């Protein structure tokens, strides 16, 4: 790797000179020069190469061309300088796209190949990728390379990029239970995720506070469990729209239905599902986690997750499993009896394991894989070897780097979130801490490191709704995006600051309410409506 | 018009009455807490509500002037306010208000406004402006009485907060009797338009939200080191060379619009032109104003604070502040004076000579005081009053009496308040209210728990605290995050400065603030959530 470190830093030096400063996240390999080509919006087109496996009619790319045309040339299309006289070598009027493997209608997956190469030189302006997903990443990069002179002329510099992600799972979690997020907020977030090359939308749909997911099998869940069953819900149509909107941007939707804790909102719609808590020998009127002692519970889960498995096309479901509070279970005589019957003694972790294991079997039977929060691993639930463990606790029971070590040494795949809880805010440029996290900085063999499939930035909703979501998320989540996409040697904060500040202005230009990194300004500022 | 008067005590006695009622405030807040629909923010001095409800119909209801009012339809400030508040109350629901068939009880058809003294319709609000009002809500005509239009504005806000929609969507208000006046006359928000430029639209939004929280001062920290967006008529080079770009400036017309927009909401604009430090951006447009720093015997090329030893400095400042005093109508100009870095002054040989001539020794605080005193005299000479940051007091041996000291350093701020008031100077408190310092969770509680008079001192000293300001400095704030970062966190400060000191129950405050936040949302202010939950109409943002 020493050799590659050398070329890497050389390329960094080369890139400082050019317009590539605007790129975020930074590509794996890039060479640019001062030589530039003019782009005329009137004549510029995205074109499929004749031997491309994707051709006109490929929804993913056809729509991406339209989006990127709008992003590049936007609404000012009437004021462009016209091409004058004969065409020059120094003019580019198309980006030619060649996709090697057919497939425009499938969903992106953990295994999707996102590699691409982008070549802009005298001979060609060419984007080559294995799959349509790689082409999407390349189009984003292309759009970040085009710049505009003060006179309004568009240019692109001579550039050679070879790019691929460091990790295949680059996620962002939104919590739509503690505060409802309007559909538009979710769709807008998916757009900005694509600008950052994120590829997983972890949708923490429901939790204690509210149940906005409208189930067609159990409509009472939302009728009784949402904040407002008319306005604060996601209908089947909404969910479909999110999934398709994400697919068109190469983003997977990882749906989370967290159980057995974090389920208070499920209670009103499914009587008997939650554990009645006891005060002495009488029910106290409050409820705890899902009741793991009843057959009905598993019948319900079986039917419910059958629906979820068909609604969400991704191979993975997130089953939660975090922060189960045992006090209510302990208080309940039926549960105590069940514990005795099962021989669990006083170990409620065993009860939790029993529940989770049964649930995992149900979900496996539907042909799904699953992601769970780290407690499932910590509490020694016996899970399938292909389970993905999401590490979220910063210090307890062990520091997260230790937890990564433990999870991977047990042979499980790991997702890192612990240092990336973006709902935790502090004064100042905290993006630097977020950026400097190295997901593989734990003790472990290369085989263990290879089990880390990526990470997620989490925006929990206790204090976040559509009023502050966007500025709290961007550009801070961008720091996570680059850490998960780019080369691990990319750790120079000055270099990152310059590009991220530039990228943040580009986000403003694209209409995203991204907050400032530090003192300064953008040519196009966010305009209050 | 036969309902006018409404059996309420004769109006000239309003102020005596207010004083008498102040002692009842504790009782009042207890009453308010008992009524779940009451979500007034900030809590008025005295509130009495009954369970008797009146209903309002958007087609029938109007704001009118009492025949005895000293203000009439020619008072455009009130006419504009009537239109705004009609919209806040009904506008949003235009298309789905409740059916008339479901209405029961008495209809409230009018809020009749009466101004008792010279209304001050066309003047600017001042520190001494009377904001007190009484509001008597009963059918079919409610009355709002105040000495001046400023009280009417506050009362309209309260009236609008009393109205809610019942289960069927009918606009409803409980019969109530409210007597209200502010605890402190100076209730401010500081915005910083130098570190990041804020468009006047963003400033307008802020002024709207300020009115919803009964704030009455926008402290406009308009220029600082990073940029000089204020377009000066006398010295156009300052913004030409010192602003971020030609689109990041406030033209004279922009400034006029902000001042008028604020005036119509009873809000003063206090401009701050901070010197001698925090002035890097002045240097580009005004040659020979800043101190050249030295590296040994040679100028280093860098510049420090304003150069306090040249006559040209003072002739520039004199002309500049003359312009400021005419552009900004408020009695007060904020002169800054904070965080002066002495290193550059100390490096400069001419300044060293000056120090020696003046007998200042090596004490640069004396040089700073010398500078500030000249500027303060300049401001007095143009018949304005000055506000300065606390260092000006801390570092001065003597200071023009009446200079208002703004306490901002959080360490030992209560002791600073004691010292400043003991020396007889008026105080504005900001130290515990730097809202740009964000943290996870409900930090509004911390702002709310502050009492501005919790320092050691005599009654006379306490009277010198004229109020406080919530400061939102701009290092990490621009139009993208200004509103959710400011609201409803600043609301906590708003209530602390308006309401009686005994209104401090966190549970009731949480309940009211949550509803108040939803109300701001409905009125187009992207106020962030207080905690987990929802608002009925949040999807309209």
Cα–Cα distance, A526 to A529 (Å, whole number): 9
What are the tens digits of pLDDT across the range A337-362? 999 999 999 999 999 999 999 999 99
Averaged pLDDT for residues B96-113? 74
**Cα–Cα distances in Å, from A351 out to A252, A341, B344?**
33, 11, 70
Is the CB of residue B473 less than 8 Å from the CB of residue B196? no
* Overall size of chain A counted in residues: 529
- Window 224-263 of A, Cβ < 8 Å to B: 227-228, 231-232
Helix (H) or strand (E) holding B446, with range, is helix B444-449
Tracing tokens 């069953």 back to the chain, one arrives at A229
What are the tens digits of pLDDT across the range A181-192? 999 999 999 999
Pick the closest to residue B334 from B500, B459, B186 (CA basis). Answer: B186
> Where does the pLDDT of residue B519 fall: very low under 50, low under 70, confident under 90, or very high at 90 and above?
very high
With 0-12 / 13-18 / 19 or more C-beta atoms within 10 angstroms meaning exposed / middle / buried, residue B173 is: buried
What are the tens digits of pLDDT across the range B114-145? 999 999 999 999 999 999 999 999 999 999 99
Half-sphere exposure of A88 (CA within 13 A, CB side): 10
Cβ within 8 Å, pair A528-B539: no
What are the tens digits of pLDDT across the range A231-280? 999 999 999 999 999 999 999 999 999 999 999 999 999 999 999 999 99
**Cα–Cα distances in Å, from B286 out to B161, B278, B306, B328, B368?**
49, 15, 11, 22, 20
| pLDDT at residue A6, rounded to an integer | 39
Is the ipTM above a cut-off of 0.85?
A: yes
Q: Quick check: bond before B276 cis, omega within 30?
A: yes
Question: Quick one: closest CA in B to A516, which residue?
Answer: B476
Helices and strands, number each (H, E), in chain B: 19, 18
Cβ within 8 Å, pair B532-A461: yes
Identify from A184, A422, A467, A504 which residue to disrupt to test chain B contact, counting B C-beta atoms within 10 A and taking the largest count. A467
Angle, vertex CA A74, rays to CA A70 and CA A77, nearest 5: 115
Pick the closest to residue B78 from B26, B149, B1, B174 (CA basis). Answer: B149
3-state secondary structure of B387: strand
Is the CB of residue B15 less than 8 Å from the CB of residue B21? no
Cβ within 8 Å of residue A523, ≥6 positions away: A505, A509, B245
Residue B463 has pLDDT above 90, yes or no: yes
Lowest mean pLDDT among A176-180, B5-9, B290-294: B5-9
> Where does the pLDDT of residue B13 fall: very low under 50, low under 70, confident under 90, or very high at 90 and above?
very low
| pLDDT at residue B168, rounded to an integer | 85
- Find chain A residues with C-beta within 8 A of B533's C-beta: 179, 209, 227
Cβ within 8 Å, pair B533-A427: no
Cα–Cα distance, B269 to B406 (Å, whole number): 16
> Where does the pLDDT of residue B26 fall: very low under 50, low under 70, confident under 90, or very high at 90 and above?
very low
Cα–Cα distance, A226 to A231 (Å, whole number): 9
Q: What residues of A are labeled active site?
A: 323
Residue B10 has pLDDT above 90, yes or no: no
Averaged pLDDT for residues A448-474? 98
Cβ within 8 Å, pair A427-B538: no
Lowest mean pLDDT among A364-373, B387-396, B458-467, B531-540: B531-540
| pLDDT at residue A80, rounded to an integer | 52
What are the tens digits of pLDDT across the range A190-209? 999 999 999 999 999 999 99
Cα–Cα distance, B438 to A483 (Å, whole number): 25
Residue B92 has pLDDT above 90, yes or no: no
Q: How far is B441 from chain A (nearest CA, A)?
A: 7
B261 CB within 8 Å of a chain A CB: no
Average pLDDT, chain B: 91
Backbone angles phi, psi at B265, to 5 degrees: -105, 10
- Find chain B residues with C-beta within 8 A of A516's C-beta: 196, 476-478, 480-481
Cα–Cα distance, A132 to A115 (Å, whole number): 10
Cβ within 8 Å of residue A461, ≥6 positions away: A174, A175, A176, A177, A178, A179, A181, A204, A423, B532
Q: What residues of B are labeled active site?
A: 339
B540 CB within 8 Å of a chain A CB: no
Of the candidates A178, A232, A472, the beta carbon closest to that of B532 is on A178
Which is it for strands B141-146 and B110-115: parallel, antiparallel or unpaired? parallel
Helices and strands, number each (H, E), in chain A: 17, 18
Cβ within 8 Å, pair A521-B529: no
- The secondary structure of A297-325 as a DSSP string is HHHHHHHHHHHHHHH--SSEEEEE-----
Percentage of residues of chain A with pLDDT beyond 90:
90
- Window 188-227 of B, Cβ < 8 Å to A: 195-197, 199, 201-202, 205, 226-227
Pick the closest to residue B84 from B147, B132, B152 (CA basis). Answer: B152
A179 CB within 8 Å of a chain B CB: yes
- Find chain B residues with C-beta within 8 A of A429's C-beta: 476
With 0-12 / 13-18 / 19 or more C-beta atoms within 10 angstroms meaning exposed / middle / buried, residue B295 is: exposed
Q: How far is A184 from chain B (nearest CA, A)?
A: 9
Is the CB of residue A305 less than 8 Å from the CB of residue A366? yes
Average pLDDT, chain A: 93
Cα–Cα distance, A310 to A217 (Å, whole number): 12
What are the tens digits of pLDDT across the range A81-106? 555 555 566 899 999 999 999 999 99
Tokens of B419: 């010292």
Residue B37 has pLDDT above 80, yes or no: no
| pLDDT at residue B396, rounded to an integer | 87
- Find chain B residues with C-beta within 8 A of A473's C-beta: none
What are the tens digits of pLDDT across the range A7-26? 444 445 444 445 657 899 99
Dmax over CA atoms of chain B, in Å, equals 89
pTM (predicted TM-score): 0.93
The residues with which A175 forms a beta bridge, in sequence order, are: A204
B436 CB within 8 Å of a chain A CB: yes
Cα–Cα distance, B264 to B538 (Å, whole number): 27
Cβ within 8 Å, pair B481-A471: yes
- Find chain B residues with C-beta within 8 A of A464's C-beta: 528-529
């Amino acid at each position: 790797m020493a050799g590659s470190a050398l070329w890497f830093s050389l390329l960094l030096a080369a890139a400082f000179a050019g317009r590539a400063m605007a790129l975020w996240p930074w590509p794996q390999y890039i060479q640019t020069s001062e030589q530039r080509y003019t782009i005329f919006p009137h004549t510029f087109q995205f074109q499929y190469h004749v031997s491309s496996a994707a051709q006109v009619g490929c929804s993913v790319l056809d729509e991406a061309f339209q989006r990127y045309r709008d992003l590049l040339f936007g609404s000012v299309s009437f004021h462009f300088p016209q091409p004058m006289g004969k065409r020059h070598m120094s003019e580019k009027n198309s980006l030619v796209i060649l996709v090697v493997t057919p497939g425009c209608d499938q969903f992106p997956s953990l295994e999707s190949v996102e590699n691409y190469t982008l070549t802009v030189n005298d001979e060609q302006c060419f984007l080559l990728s294995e799959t349509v997903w790689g082409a999407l990443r390349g189009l984003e990069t292309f759009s970040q390379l085009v710049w505009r002179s003060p006179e309004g002329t568009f240019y692109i510099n001579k550039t050679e990029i070879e790019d691929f992600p460091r990790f295949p799972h680059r996620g962002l979690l939104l919590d739509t239970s503690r505060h409802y997020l309007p559909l538009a907020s979710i769709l807008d977030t998916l757009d900005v995720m694509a600008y950052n090359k994120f590829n997983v939308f972890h949708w923490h749909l429901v939790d204690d506070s509210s149940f906005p997911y409208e189930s067609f099998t159990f409509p009472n869940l939302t009728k009784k469990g949402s904040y407002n069953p008319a306005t604060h819900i996601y209908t089947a149509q909404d969910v479909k729209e999110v999934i398709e909107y994400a697919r068109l941007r190469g983003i997977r939707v990882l749906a989370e239905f967290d159980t057995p804790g974090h389920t208070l909102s499920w209670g009103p719609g499914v009587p008997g599902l939650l554990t009645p808590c006891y005060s002495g020998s009488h029910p106290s009127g409050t409820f705890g986690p899902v009741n793991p002692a009843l057959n009905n519970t598993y019948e319900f889960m079986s039917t419910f997750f059958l629906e979820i498995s068909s609604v969400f096309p991704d191979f993975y479901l997130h089953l939660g499993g975090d922060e189960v509070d045992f006090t209510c279970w302990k208080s309940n005589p039926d549960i105590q009896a069940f514990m005795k019957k099962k021989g669990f003694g006083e170990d409620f972790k065993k009860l939790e394991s029993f529940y989770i294991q049964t649930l995992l079997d149900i979900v496996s039977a539907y042909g799904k894989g699953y992601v769970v929060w780290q407690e499932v691993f910590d509490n020694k639930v016996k899970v399938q070897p292909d389970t993905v463990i999401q590490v979220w606790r910063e210090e307890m029971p062990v520091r997260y780097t230790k937890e990564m070590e433990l999870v991977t040494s047990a042979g499980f795949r790991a997702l890192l979130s612990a240092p990336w809880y973006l709902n935790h805010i502090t004064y100042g440029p905290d993006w630097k801490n977020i950026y400097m996290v190295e997901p593989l900085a734990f003790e472990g063999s290369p085989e263990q490191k290879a089990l880390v499939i990526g990470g997620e930035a989490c925006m929990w909703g206790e204090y976040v709704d559509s009023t502050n979501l966007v500025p709290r998320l961007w550009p801070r989540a961008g720091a996570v995006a680059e850490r998960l996409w780019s080369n691990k040697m990319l750790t120079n904060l000055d270099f990152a600051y310059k590009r991220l500040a530039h990228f943040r202005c580009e986000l403003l230009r694209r209409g995203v309410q991204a907050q400032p990194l530090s003192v300064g300004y953008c040519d196009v500022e966010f305009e209050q409506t | 018009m036969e309902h006018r008067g409404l059996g309420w005590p004769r109006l000239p006695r309003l102020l005596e009455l207010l004083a008498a009622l102040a002692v009842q405030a504790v009782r009042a807040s207890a009453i308010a807490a008992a009524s779940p629909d009451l979500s007034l923010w900030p809590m008025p001095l005295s509130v009495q509500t009954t369970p008797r409800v009146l209903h309002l119909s958007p087609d029938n209801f109007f704001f009118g002037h009492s025949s005895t009012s000293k203000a009439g339809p020619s008072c455009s400030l009130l006419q504009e306010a009537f239109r705004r508040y009609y919209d806040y109350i009904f506008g949003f629901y235009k298309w789905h208000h409740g059916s008339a068939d479901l209405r029961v009880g008495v209809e409230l058809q009018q809020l009749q406004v009466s101004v008792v003294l010279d209304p001050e319709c066309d003047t600017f609000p001042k520190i001494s402006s009377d904001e007190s009002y009484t509001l008597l809500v009963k059918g079919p005509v409610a009355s709002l009485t105040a000495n001046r239009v400023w009280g009417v504005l506050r009362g309209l806000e309260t009236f609008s907060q009393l109205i809610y929609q019942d289960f069927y969507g009918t606009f409803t208000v409980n019969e109530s009797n409210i007597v209200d006046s502010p605890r402190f006359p100076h209730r401010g928000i500081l915005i910083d338009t130098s570190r990041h430029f804020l468009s006047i639209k963003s400033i307008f939004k802020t002024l709207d939200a300020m009115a919803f929280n009964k704030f009455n001062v926008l402290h406009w920290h308009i220029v600082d080191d990073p940029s000089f967006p204020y377009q000066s008529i006398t010295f156009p080079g300052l913004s030409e060379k010192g602003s971020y770009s030609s689109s990041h400036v406030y033209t004279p017309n922009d400034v006029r619009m902000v001042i008028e927009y604020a005036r119509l909401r009873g809000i003063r604009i206090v401009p701050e032109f901070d010197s001698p430090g925090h002035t890097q951006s002045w240097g580009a447009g005004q040659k020979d104003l800043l101190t050249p720093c030295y590296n040994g015997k040679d100028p280093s090329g860098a510049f420090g604070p304003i150069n306090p030893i040249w006559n040209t400095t003072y002739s520039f400042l004199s002309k500049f502040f003359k312009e400021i005093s005419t552009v900004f109508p408020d009695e007060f100009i904020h002169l800054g004076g904070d965080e002066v870095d002495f290193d550059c002054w100390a490096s400069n040989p001419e300044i060293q000579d000056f120090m020696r001539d003046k007998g200042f020794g090596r004490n640069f605080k004396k040089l700073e005081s010398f500078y500030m005193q000249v500027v303060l005299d300049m401001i007095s000479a143009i018949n304005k009053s000055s506000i300065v940051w606390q260092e000006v007091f801390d570092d001065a041996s003597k200071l023009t009496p009446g200079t208002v000291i703004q306490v901002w350093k959080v360490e030992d701020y209560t002791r600073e308040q004691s010292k400043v008031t003991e020396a007889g100077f008026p105080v504005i408190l900001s130290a515990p209210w730097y809202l740009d310092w964000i943290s996870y969770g409900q930090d509004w509680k911390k702002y709310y728990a502050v009492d501005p008079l919790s320092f050691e001192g005599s009654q006379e000293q306490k009277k010198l605290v004229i109020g406080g300001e919530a400061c939102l400095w701009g290092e990490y704030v621009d139009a993208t995050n200004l509103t959710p970062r400011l609201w409803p966190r600043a609301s906590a400060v708003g209530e602390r400065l308006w309401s009686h000191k005994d209104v401090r129950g966190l549970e009731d405050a949480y309940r009211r603030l949550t509803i108040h936040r939803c109300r701001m949302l409905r009125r187009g202010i992207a106020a962030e959530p207080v905690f987990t939950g929802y608002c009925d109409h949040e999807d309209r943002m």
